[in-house]
Amino acid sequence: MDSYLSSSDLNNSPLVTVAVITRNRADSLKRTLDAIKKLDYSNYEVLVVDNASTDHTKEVIYNSGYKYLFSKKNNGFAKTRQIAVDTAKGEYICWCDDDCVPDPDWIRSFLQCFQINPNLSLLGGFVHNINFPESLVFKGKSKLGLNGQLIFVENGYEAEYFGNLNLAVKRCDIHKINGYDNFFKGGYEEIDLAFRLKIIEKEVGFCFQARVKHYHNDSSFKKGRFFYNGQLSRIYFYLKSRHHLKDFSYWVFFKNELFILINDLKRSIRGIFSGIKKLDKNKIVIYSVELLNSALCRLVIPFLIVKSRK
C-alpha cells in the first residue's frame, strides 16, 4: 500500500519499545531474544521484565545486552507489564511473549497498520500456534462469550480482543486509561486494557502482516496458580465492565456462572481421576488446585461485586 513505511523511511521512524515478560523459561526466552536481534527496524529498545525467575534467565538477558528489569516477587501479569510500561520510552509498545518468535518485519508491519488508521490504539498480530491442542489452535484472537469467557476465532479481522503474545499499543493511550489494573494477576489484563480503550473511543484492530510463531510451553505464571487464576480474572473483568455491556443483569450473570461452574467442576474431577489412573502426581495436583479455585472464585463473587463498584 502507498501509505506504508518504505525501507528508506525507517531511520526517521518513531522509537518503539519491545517488551517481553518472562519467568523461568530461559531457553525459550533466548530463542525469542535471538529473533528480536534480527528485526529489520532500527529504532527500537528492548525491555525484559523477569518476574522472579529462579533458573538462568538472568544470564540469558545479560548476554543479550538488553535492559533487564528484575522483580523479586512473582507479581503476576498486569503488574509485571506495568513495570515495562513505566520504564518504556517508545511511542509504541510491542509485546512479545517469551515463547514466541517474531518475523523480521514484525515492528515495521505494526507501524504500517497504525499509519493507515491514526485512531487505532491497539493492534493484535497474526499468531501461528505450534504444537497446540486443537482447542487452542486459534489462541490469541478472541471474542467475548458467556460471562466474559473468551471464544477463540480463526479470522483475526472478526476478533474483538488479542493476546499479549503479539500485541502493539500506543504508550500514550495506556497512560490515558491509567495503565493496567493490577488485580489481573492471572490473565485478562490485555482484555481489560482493550475494553477500556474502546470506552474512550479508541479503536482496536488486527494486523495480519505482524506475525509471530508461538511454541507450546507450560505457563510458569499460571499453571497451578492458587486463587489468582483466569476464572477469578474473568469474573472480575465482567463485573467491572457491566455498565458498558449490553443487557447486563445480575440474575443472568449468576445463572450463567452456575452453568460455567458445573462444567469447571466436571473438567477438574475428570482431570484428577485421569491423574490417579495414570499415577501422574503433577496432574493430580494441578487439577486439584483448579477444583479448589473453581469453588473459591465463586465464593468471593460478593467481594468482586463490591470491588468492581469502586
Residues 13-61: tens digit of each pLDDT: 899 999 999 999 999 999 999 999 999 999 999 999 999 999 999 999 9
Residues 204-218: tens digit of each pLDDT: 999 999 999 999 876
Q: Where are the domains of the chain?
A: 7-215, 230-308
Residues 78-115: tens digit of each pLDDT: 999 999 999 999 999 999 999 999 999 999 999 999 99
Residue 170: per-residue pLDDT: 98
CATH architecture of 7-215: Alpha-Beta Complex (3.90)
In this prediction, residue 160 has a pLDDT band, given cuts at 50, 70 and 90, of very high
C-alpha cell at 262: 458445573
Q: What is the mean pLDDT of residues 120-141?
A: 92
Task: Give helix 250-278 / helix 230-240 axis angle, nearest 10°.
Answer: 170
Nearest CA to 8 among 108, 120, 115? 108
Name the H helices within 8-51.
26-36
Cβ atoms of 95 and 168 within 8 Å: the answer is yes
Predicted model pTM: 0.90
- What percentage of the chain's residues is helix, strand, coil (to nearest 5)? 45, 20, 35
